Each structure stands twice: as C-alpha cells, then as structure tokens.
C-alpha cells in the first residue's frame, strides 16, 4: 500500500539539493508517495506546532515549541565554524542594543544563538531574503542573515560585525553549529515509517553528493539569481557529513544550544529531544 505523506522543506538551494532525488524519484521510494510543500523556514516552524505535515524541516530552536516529534538523523544543516552573521551598513556592534535588528524569525536557531551571545535585542521579524534590502532602506539598522546571504553580503557593501559560527566554535570547542533539522510527527507516522523515511532521505542526500552537477543545477531554481559558483559554495557548506548523519556531535550540539539558552534564562526548560534512531 502506497502511503502519501506531506514533506516540508525550504525554498533554498541546500534543501533542494537534499531533496532532489526524492522529488525526481531517482531512488527507490519504498511505500511512500511524497507531496512536497516548499515554504520559508519560519512558516514551517509554525506549521510544525499544529502537526500540519508528516515530515518537515524546522529550525533546531523550534524544538522548544514542539512535542510529539522524532528528530531525523539525516537532513540537518550544521555549520562547521561558520553560521549566521550579523551585518550592518554603517553602524558598529557596540550600538546594536539601541537599534533594530532584522531577523528571519523568532523560532529560528539563528535568533536563539544571537540571543545567547548578545542578550535580548529589539528585533523585527521579516522574510530572510528581505533583510539586506531592509538595512539599505533604513527599515532596520542591523541584519541577522542566513542562507546564501552569508556569502553574497560582501558584494553589497555591508560590514560583517559578528559571526555566530565562529563564536559558537570557540564556546563549544569545535561542535558543529546546530541550525536546521528534519523532524517527523509521531502523531501522524509510526516509528517504523519514520525510520524508513529517514533512511530514504539519507539515500537522497547521498545521491546528490554523487551527482553533484545535476543536483546543483536542480537546486539553482531556488538560487534567487545567485551565481552558480556561489550557490555551489553555499550548498557544500551546509550539505556536509553532519547532513548525511548528524551523529553524536550533532546531537551534542543541539543539547548544548538548549543548555546555554536555559543558563541564560531564555528558555524555562530543555525540550524533549527524541531521536528516530
């Protein structure tokens, strides 16, 4: 019997790269028929609260707002001494507490990491792709940037004021930066189904890594005009060994982020971290 499941991922090159073989059915699909739902990460975070999708990409931070989910071993986005960046046009980091920071969402890992590092700031939530433009037109004074903007900002006369990836690396003695993960709803899927999907997603990621050029070409539809060389660099940054299998270090990094958030009083308790394996 074929099981139709709804799977959420973001309109970003790294997610498209991971899901390429699944979307094109280039690998064995088992008993699954996938309906892909492509949305901004903060929208997926909010959809997860009400179990709208069987499987979805979320920010690791979103686990603090969820229950009845299994964390998949594959498909995670972890930085390796790099991660979200705070940029500005003409201001210094010393002034940040007196101005407005554009952020890609209050449930994003980028926002949580910034809050751990710099404390509570005056923020304005907006679509991640709109943040550089909002700095230029004066809507916000600083921007917390994710996705390919972490590379392309240098061409737009912005100054990098704070690299959360480098900060995290120093604070944790080299743990990967926990940013995005994939989760499956325990309300909508059995444990066996979740494990089967996790294995299939891992196969899809490996397929793309073994067919790099065609997978990058497919991913470019979400490149927002970014040059192919830049897009390839970005994909290789966030589709790394932790994406294939987050392993012990990935799990430790997620736990460490919540431990630090609890210590700072940002969260009241550590959320349940229930892994599929």
One DSSP character per residue, 67-104 reads -SEEE-SSS-EEESS---EEEESS--GGGGGGSEEEES
Take residue 179 and report the two structure tokens written for it: 């940013």
The answer on whether 110 is annotated among ligand-binding residues is yes
Q: How far apart are CA 246 and CA 252, in angstroms?
A: 10
Decide: residue 171, CB within 10 A, 0-12 exposed, 13-18 middle, 19+ buried: middle
- Pick the closest to residue 156 from 82, 237, 85 (CA basis): 85
* Residue 61 bears catalytic tag: no
Q: Element (H or E) spanning 203, and its range?
A: helix 191-210
Catalytic residue among 36, 98, 124, 147: 147
The answer on whether 73 is annotated among ligand-binding residues is no
- Catalytic site residues? 147
Annotated binding site for substrate: 109-110
């Amino acid at each position: 019997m074929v099981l139709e499941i709804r799977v959420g991922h973001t309109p970003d090159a790294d997610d498209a790269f991971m899901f390429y073989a699944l979307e094109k059915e280039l690998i064995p699909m088992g008993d699954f028929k996938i309906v892909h739902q492509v949305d901004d990460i903060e929208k997926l975070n909010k959809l997860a609260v009400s179990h709208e999708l069987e499987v979805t990409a979320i920010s690791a931070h979103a686990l603090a707002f969820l229950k009845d989910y299994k964390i998949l071993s594959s498909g995670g986005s972890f930085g390796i001494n790099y991660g979200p960046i705070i940029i500005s046009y003409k201001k210094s980091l010393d002034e940040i507490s007196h101005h407005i920071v554009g952020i890609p969402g209050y449930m994003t890992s980028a926002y949580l990491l910034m809050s751990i590092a710099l404390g509570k700031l005056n923020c304005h939530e907006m679509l991640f792709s709109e943040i550089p433009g909002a700095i230029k037109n004066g809507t916000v004074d600083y921007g917390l940037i994710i996705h390919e903007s972490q590379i392309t900002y240098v061409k737009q006369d912005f100054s990098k004021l704070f690299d959360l990836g480098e900060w995290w690396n120093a604070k944790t003695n080299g743990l990967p930066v926990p940013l995005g993960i994939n989760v499956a709803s325990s309300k909508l899927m059995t444990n066996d189904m979740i494990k089967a999907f996790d294995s299939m997603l891992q196969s899809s990621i490996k397929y793309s890594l073994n067919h790099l050029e065609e997978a990058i070409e497919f991913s470019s539809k979400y490149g927002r005009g970014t040059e192919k060389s830049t897009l390839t660099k970005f994909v290789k940054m966030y589709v790394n060994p932790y994406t294939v299998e987050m392993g012990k270090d990935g799990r430790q990094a997620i736990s460490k982020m919540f431990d630090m958030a609890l210590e700072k009083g940002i969260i009241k308790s550590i959320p349940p971290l229930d892994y599929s394996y």
